[in-house]
Amino acid sequence: MRDLKIPGERHPEKAHRPDNPQPKKPDWIRVRAPGGQGYAETRRIMRDNNLTTVCEEAGCPNVGECWSAGHATMMIMGEVCTRGCTFCNVATGRPDALDVFEPGRVADAVQKLGLNHVVITSVDRDDLDDGGAEHFAQTIRALRHRAPDTTIEILTPDFLKCGPEALETVVAAKPDVFNHNLETVPALYPSVRPGARYFHSLRLLQRVKEIDPSIFTKSGIMVGLGEGRSEVHQVMDDMRSANIDFLTIGQYLQPTPKHHAVDRFVTPDEFKSYEKAAWGKGFLMVSATPLTRSSYHAGEDFARLRDAREKSLARA
């Protein structure tokens, strides 16, 4: 594989793509501008620990709000991905070797931030035999050691090119929530997520539950990429068939003109309708708003669910 990174050019691998003009965002997509003391402190801890965040790499619109509250989603295993998904702002190319000290630095940062709940994600590492499974497991173990009261959510790649032991390695480390995003409806995979397989991703989450039913599973999609309403409902049904517990649905925002075009902005009322349908299908947690992202308010959502479960156990 060629190393496509060129100094000074952030996303050279997307240079061959046609320009898709970025449409003006509607009024309902309003975000807090980054800044303030909390934001600066989160940024300092990330820099001091030499950590990469998906908040910055993906150009997440919620970074002002999340970082002000000390919530950053760390992205392990480098900042170069082996896949070329057309919605994603992370650079594609040949990644560096794994940094064996990274799990310790992640744990240190989480301890300093004093997080009740942390979300850890990664780039895709098709260049590694285990897809980075052992590195995920080491990160979870380091977090358990340094921040034992913090609940851990991982947002993983699909381990498509690995044997079954890769997933088993990650599950054996016992994250509290195992998240893997389906990202879009199956018909759009060839144009949005060309290196992935919809039913493989679904089966990955189903297997997590089969291996360890005590782990919550979570997945999400973006809307506004060109999907139909009935296709979104079918994805929800597929997710419930795979025993997925939590669902997130958010508006796709186009990072640059070289990325997949926004087909349309889904209205807040349509999001409410998706949310209502999802609760009806039996998800334990649903977040469906224009600004919903996998890790947006993930800690609050998880704490609410855990409280509800404890109350219901106490009543039983």
Per-position x/- string for 245-284, each x denoting binding to ligand SF4 as judged by CB under 6 A, each - no binding: ----------------------------------------
55 is in an annotated binding site: yes
Per CB under 6 A, 71 contacts ligand SF4: yes
> Rounded to the nearest whole angstrom, what is the least distance from the CB of residue 22 to ligand SF4 in the complex?
19
Report, in angstroms and rounded to the nearest whole number, the Rg of the chain calculated over CA atoms.
Answer: 19
The separation between the first and the last C-alpha atoms of the chain, rounded to the nearest angstrom, is: 57
- For residue 59, give the nearest of 31, 88, 82, 81 by alpha carbon: 88
Span near ligand SF4 by CB under 6 A; candidates 66-74, 163-171, 226-234, 254-262: 66-74
Residues of span 284-303 touching ligand SF4 by CB under 6 A: 293, 295-296
Per CB under 6 A, 135 contacts ligand SF4: no
Per CB under 6 A, 52 contacts ligand SF4: no
Pair 294, 220: CB distance under 8 Å: yes
Which contacts (CB < 8 Å, 24+ apart) does range 203-207 have?
203/242, 204/158, 204/159, 204/167, 204/180, 205/178, 205/180, 205/239, 205/242, 205/243, 205/244, 206/242, 206/243, 206/244, 207/164, 207/167
> Rounded to the nearest whole angstrom, what is the least distance from the CB of residue 213 to ligand SF4 in the complex?
27
27 membership: H or E segment, kind and range: none
Span near ligand SF4 by CB under 6 A; candidates 56-64, 140-148, 200-208, 220-228: 56-64
Pair 281, 240: CB distance under 8 Å: yes
Give residue 92's identity as a one-letter amino acid code. Answer: T
> Rounded to the nearest whole angstrom, what is the least distance from the CB of residue 147 to ligand SF4 in the complex?
17
Residues that bind ligand SF4 (CB under 6 A): 54-55, 60, 62-63, 66, 71-73, 293, 295-296
Could you tell me which residues are annotated as the binding site for [4Fe-4S] cluster?
55, 60, 66, 81, 85, 88, 295
